[in-house]
Amino acid sequence: MNKKVKVRAPATITDIGPGFNSFSLAVGLYNYITIEETSKPGFHVTNLNEAAKLPSDESNAILVVVRDFLIGKLKYKLKSGGIHIINDFNVPLNRGLNSLTVGVVGALIASSVFAEEEIMPEELLAMMKYYQNHPHNFAATVIGGFVISSPVDESFVSHRIDFPDNIKLTLIIPEYEISGSDSARLLSHKITMSDAIFNQSRASLLIAALCQKNFKLLNLAMEDKIHQPLLRRKIPGADEISIIAKTCDSMGITLCGSGASILIMHTHPCDAVVRRIERAYLSYKIKSRSISVEVDESGAGIV
């Protein structure tokens, strides 16, 4: 029987509320990476579901990572034939859920297991820096849960806090993509001291609300003056959704990462709010879908 390894990696929601480049949350929406031996020489890729948008040749990002890590770093020797990679993505690309980075995490784990080289979470976090500059984009996918990442000199630390069991999560995913280059241009700007203080205070308030389970603070604690106002300029309907968010007591609503998906943290049913947000997107002829997700507490691993 040919050797075969399959890994599941959860979506990561970043930049939650005021936690720009700091807060991330792993949720139960998954990409699957499979590496298997094949009699056909060379590296080959099959892309399924969302991954069908990726190249199917040797420029495929996941194939490049597997080849670099498995052969280049781990020095794995193919006895005969080649490697077949199956990318089965359920995390939408370019919607603020870090789908490609999630795939890279899965590729590194699958490669290490395939080569029978144990890789610890701390090592994986360090290795990911070669493939993704910003640790908040991958830390939660690696270790699961709600994670705070902070730079330390040329490195970083990532610390996980307990996420309250009674907070429910709803994602609204529009059929609207925002590219990484768009978000990079938006974020190359200067901020005022007052806005920095505002975000620092709101970020502290959000962590306090989660740790103390004071959910009445969620709406206030999700406010942001650094990241989301700029993104709203690029996402049709986002201004309207921001107004909706301000009216939702005991409920936190935020853009996911670089957009345009929306995360709702709530303790009571939020169907009416979901419909209002869906209508806001639909007024710009953007369809969307809503799904309930759980926090993924375990992070990426073998299926």
Q: How many other β-carbons are positioned within 10 Å of the β-carbon of residue 213?
A: 13
DSSP state at residue 139: H
**Dihedral angle computed from the Cα positions of residues 195, 199, 205 and 210, in that order, rounded to the nearest 10 degrees:** 160
101 in Cβ contact with 137 (< 8 Å): yes
Q: What is the pLDDT of residue 51?
A: 97
Whole-model pTM above 0.75?
yes
Q: What is the pLDDT of residue 182?
A: 55
**What's the token pair of residue 272?**
């009416």
- Longest Cα–Cα distance in the chain: 63
104 in Cβ contact with 61 (< 8 Å): yes
Domains defined for the chain, CATH in brackets: 4-162 (3.30.230.10), 168-293 (3.30.70.890)
DSSP state at residue 73: I
The residues near 21 (Cβ < 8 Å, ≥ 6 apart) are 14, 15, 134, 136, 149
Q: What is the pLDDT of residue 300?
A: 97
The CA distances from residue 207 to 18, 81, 115, 132, in Å, are: 11, 51, 40, 25
Please state whether beta strands 82-89 and 42-49 pair in parallel, antiparallel, or not at all (unpaired): parallel
Please state whether beta strands 301-302 and 4-14 pair in parallel, antiparallel, or not at all (unpaired): antiparallel
227 in Cβ contact with 20 (< 8 Å): yes
Note the pLDDT tens digit of each residue in 130-189. 898 888 999 999 999 999 999 898 889 999 999 999 999 999 999 998 876 555 565 667
Residue 290, helix vs strand vs coil: strand
* Backbone angles phi and psi of 194, in degrees to 5: -65, -40
Q: What is the pLDDT of residue 86?
A: 98
31 in Cβ contact with 89 (< 8 Å): yes
For the chain, residues with pLDDT lower than 50 are none
Q: What is the pLDDT of residue 188?
A: 67
Residue 157, helix vs strand vs coil: strand
Q: What is the pLDDT of residue 132?
A: 87
Beta-strand ranges (E) seen in 189-298 are: 251-255, 262-266, 288-293
Q: What is the pLDDT of residue 185?
A: 61
